[in-house]
Amino acid sequence: MAEKSCAAPTFRTSIGGQALIEGILMRGPGKQAIVVRSPEGLVIKEEELKLVRDKYPILGVPLIRGAVTFIDSMVRGVKALMFSADYFPEDDMAKPTKFDLWIEKHFSDERAQKLVTAFAVVLSLGLTILLFFLLPTFLAGFIDPYIKSAALHNLIESVIKLAIFFAYMLLVSKQKDIQRVFQYHGAEHKTIFCYEAGLPLTVENCRMQKRFHPRCGTSFLFVVVVISILISSVVFSFVEWRNLWVRFAMHLLLLVPIIGVAYEFNRYVGGHDTPLTRFLSRPGLWLQNFTTNEPDDSMLEVAIKAIELVIPEEKGKDTW
């Protein structure tokens, strides 16, 4: 799908967001805001950002900060999704499960929320590792008896990894329940582009912006997969590549540096506009065909409200 023309950006902002259920999470340099369009109207939740790397500066060092930021974003994202989901229960008459009753009996509301959030983050992270790292290694293991070259094994495993990644993106994009979430994702990108172009944050100005953004999480996930292929191809040229458990262990050990390199790559590409960075960002931008849809005006209104709440008072504080 061809993208509409829009005004050139005057700067790159560090403000980013996440699509929710009928809403958007926007995160600025000092605070974050959740805006949800509930059946009763707009619901707004603001909170100051307290980052763990501010308390422990070592966690802000390049390569380490990528993994720290990734986990922090996952936790905040899960909390925001749970907040938005509360306004759209699937079945008000549904009976609580035994697990729900056990949680209510043994934990206070605050501790129960923390427990459910931790469980959701661990589950999401575990499924990501299983699907994109361990499953390709397991499947590639079936061809080990028939090959003698580590390079060939790495090539086959890489093809399987990319095939799983693209299949996952395609299947998710076809889910009807997720279509409106992807529309809010598009609204988030358009609004950020409008803000970066220095235009007034109106529905009309946002509507004309592109919906594919170089600092999108979709692009980041693709970069993680590609960098994991490159790093593992080098590492498994020197370790026992035929041992399945060795490969599993190495993939887990390499997660932090892989995410760290991917984070720094996205920071560089997102902060520079050169022929090289435009070329490097193309695959990630193309993948956003699967994870962003054109939003309607009501979704743009939500995105505008969310970004207005996190724009810092001090001009330039959010420069990328």
CB 32 within 8 A of CB 25: yes
CB 179 within 8 A of CB 277: no
For the chain, which residues make up each domain, given as ranges? 16-86+99-310
Cα–Cα nearest to 186, from 170, 198, 173, 199: 173
pLDDT digits (tens, 9 = 90+) for 173-199: 888 889 999 999 999 999 999 999 999
Distances (CA, A) of 130 to 67, 87, 123, 125: 17, 31, 10, 9
- Edge-to-edge strand ranges of the sheet holding 31-38: 16-20, 23-27, 31-38, 41-48
Residue 231 has pLDDT above 50, yes or no: yes
The reported pLDDT for the residue numbered 96 is 62
306 backbone dihedrals φ, ψ, rounded to 5°:
-65, -45
Residue 1 has pLDDT above 50, yes or no: no
- The dihedral region occupied by 41, where left means phi > 0, alpha psi between -120 and 50, and beta the remainder, is left
Residue 218 Cα to chain centre, angstroms: 6
- Alpha-helix residue ranges (DSSP H) falling in 148-254: 150-173, 176-196, 203-207, 217-235, 244-253
The reported pLDDT for the residue numbered 217 is 87
Cα–Cα nearest to 312, from 23, 7, 17, 27: 27
CB 192 within 8 A of CB 286: no
Distances (CA, A) of 21 to 25, 46, 55, 307: 10, 17, 32, 17
pLDDT band at 138, cuts 50/70/90?
Answer: very high
The SS3 of residue 46 is strand
Cα–Cα nearest to 52, from 65, 63, 39: 65
pTM above 0.95, yes or no: no
